[in-house]
Structure 1
Amino acid sequence: MRILKRLALAATMAALFGGIAEAKEWTKVRIGTEGAYPPFNELTPDNQLVGFDIDVAKALCEKMKVECEFVTQDWDGMIPALLAGKYDAIIASMSITPERAEKVAFTGKYYNTPPALAVPKDSAIQGADPEDVAGKAIGAQSSTTHSRYVEQYYKDAQLKMYPTADEYKLDLQNGRLDGAVDDVVVLSEWLDTPDGACCKIAGTITPVEEIHGEGAGIAIRKEDTDLVAMFNKAIEEIRADGSYQTINEKYFDFDVYGD
């Protein structure tokens, strides 16, 4: 009996100390982002990643005292690539939704802005309610909260889905769409460009919690609980020391963190 107890104790201690030895030391964090969602993340002509997401990510890595390495990934494959180990965290304006939380862990939000509907300037559409778009062709980026909202709430409209935001913008500009749904900041930024001069905001959309979630967070593999804690602590720190506000003011004239 004593021998069995000693063996059990030895096995327990080995598992305990083995787990400690194998705990990951985060000195480098690979961050997945899309690079096609201005002003939050985009690639410049010389292939440099810029935007609000990117600056926030760099500030968080500095607080965590880790090296940042960015990896670009098409939006549709963002979560599968995280789970496959292509990178360690997603900082790409990904909304914290119950559906996504079944697959990945999330930090708390780092910003929260509402969706909106953009239409051509000469459009007869006067609002963003379902009855306003009945019978209309409405575009949205696929695999987003915006396309899901259109599917569930704009039932009498025709949904056209696009791999990237740039593609629905092109169709809206060229008259192939009656409207498009996206984040109000993304749409407003585009409307201030020559290409976006074609269009206007018809109205904002009241977020639906089960679709839009509670804001944009950082997605991390569920087993990496220590990394979730590190990012959450870093978000609190940049909010407290003014770093977040400095980044916010670089891109926006209002507080994107939200309530």
Structure 2
Amino acid sequence: MTATSRRHLPLLLAGALTVLSGFAGSGTSQAQAQSSEWAGKKLVVGIHNRTPWAYRDKDSKVVGIHPDVIRAVFAPLGVKDFEFVVSDFGAMIPGLLAGRFDIIASGVAITPPRCEQVLFSEPDVAVGDSLLVKKGNPLKLHSYEDIAKNPKVRLAGGRGSENTKNAIAAGVPESQISLFPNNEAAVSAILADRADVTTLSVPSAIGVIDEQKVEGIERAVPFKGLIKPNGQPAKLYTGTVFPKGSAKLRDAYNAELAKLRASGGLKPIMEKYNFTADEDAGQVTTAQICAGNG
């Protein structure tokens, strides 16, 4: 496929799709999928090569929660050919707008300003804060509230991080918090018994355990973080990103994503990359998030 055809693929796909209800579902036969207009199409997918989102493993295969999700969602539509292109995170949306990618599947959070530029699928996972504790979670910490009500608990936080700000907003006294320049230093403080717990984003915590394989540390699961005034948890919700001209493709994707979730097929993909039930996007919708109500 030429670069020009790749740039125009979303428009071609949108034009080919006239009746959403005619798409192959998760239980559709292979023959039906092959007969759809989507069969044999290639999608160029922007990724930023970061665990657990989308990255190349030791065998150079592209893996991660979002490549696995889009493979599962697009398969019933007859789309099984993906060309993954690595880009800097900040360059992915500009690359989509310039036609270098057809979609982005790499941990992009849905935000109102981004909703002005691009289309998002419905949320797949919710990314909030997490706690890393010593193996066995000896202090039984499962929320910022647990830390706040035990003045002996020492929390290691990243200097200037949103996670630390959330802990303070949730009631953890600053007197219980020691600030460190980066995640590695905060985790090291636990191992050196200079802290009991550290707060990190969920992807950072997964990286410590899954990629860096730090021994003697585990995630505190379940975990309750900061609850915002509107009653929603302080989380970022991620989704697959489409250009504005690909609304029908996005809608078809959403229909299959809903089927995947309803069938229980999303859960094992999340678990494969160490996402837990805490990271389920629940009933929050992209429309709510784009309107600033997520």
TM-score category by the smaller chain? 0.5 to 0.7
1:224 counterpart residue number? 246
1:257 counterpart residue number? 280
Moved more, 81-90 or 197-206: 197-206
- In the alignment, is the contact (CA less than 8 A) between 1:114 and 1:205 conserved in 2? yes
Gaps in structure 1 of 5+ consecutive residues: 1-21, 141-146, 162-167
For these two proteins, the number of residue pairs brought into alignment is: 222
Distance 2:93 2:260 in 1: 26
For residues 60-139 of structure 1, the aligned pairs below 5 Å read: 60-66=73-79, 67-118=81-132, 128=144, 138=158
Q: 1:49 is matched by which residue type in structure 2?
A: V
Does the alignment pair 1:190 with 2:203? no
Larger proportion of strand: 1
Q: Which has the larger radius of gyration?
A: 1
SS at match of 2:269: helix
1:49 counterpart residue number? 62
> Relative to 1, partners in 2 of residues 1:211 and 1:73: Cα closer, same or farther, differing over 3 Å?
farther
* Aligned partner (choices 12, 30, 36) of residue 44 of structure 2: 30
2:235 counterpart residue number? 212
Shift of 1:190: 2.9
SS at match of 2:244: coil
Shift of 1:42: 2.8
Gaps in structure 2 of 5+ consecutive residues: 1-8, 14-40, 136-140, 190-194, 283-294
- In the alignment, is the contact (CA less than 8 A) between 1:139 and 1:180 conserved in 2? no
Q: 2:65 is matched by which residue type in structure 1?
A: F
SS at match of 2:280: coil
Q: 1:190 is matched by which residue type in structure 2?
A: V
Shift of 1:116: 1.8
Distance 1:98 1:211 in 2: 15
> Relative to 1, partners in 2 of residues 1:248 and 1:151: Cα closer, same or farther, differing over 3 Å?
closer
Distance 2:233 2:262 in 1: 29
Moved more, 96-105 or 150-159: 150-159
- In the alignment, is the contact (CA less than 8 A) between 2:226 and 2:233 conserved in 1? no
Q: TM-score, normalised by structure 2?
A: 0.57
Q: TM-score, normalised by structure 1?
A: 0.63
The CA RMSD measured in Å over matched residues stands at: 4.3
Distance 2:264 2:157 in 1: 43
Deviations 1:135-183 (A, max 9, x none): 976169xxxxxx556578869896858xxxxxx4x454556xx855211
Shift of 1:221: 1.5
Shift of 1:186: 5.0
Shift of 1:201: 4.9
> Relative to 1, partners in 2 of residues 1:32 and 1:54: Cα closer, same or farther, differing over 3 Å?
same
- In the alignment, is the contact (CA less than 8 A) between 1:32 and 1:73 conserved in 2? yes
Shift of 1:35: 2.2
- In the alignment, is the contact (CA less than 8 A) between 1:31 and 1:91 conserved in 2? yes
Q: 2:208 is matched by which residue type in structure 1?
A: W
Q: 2:240 is matched by which residue type in structure 1?
A: I
- In the alignment, is the contact (CA less than 8 A) between 1:117 and 1:205 conserved in 2? no
Shift of 1:237: 2.8
Shift of 1:28: 2.3
> Relative to 1, partners in 2 of residues 1:243 and 1:211: Cα closer, same or farther, differing over 3 Å?
closer
Distance 2:155 2:262 in 1: 48
Distance 1:23 1:227 in 2: 7
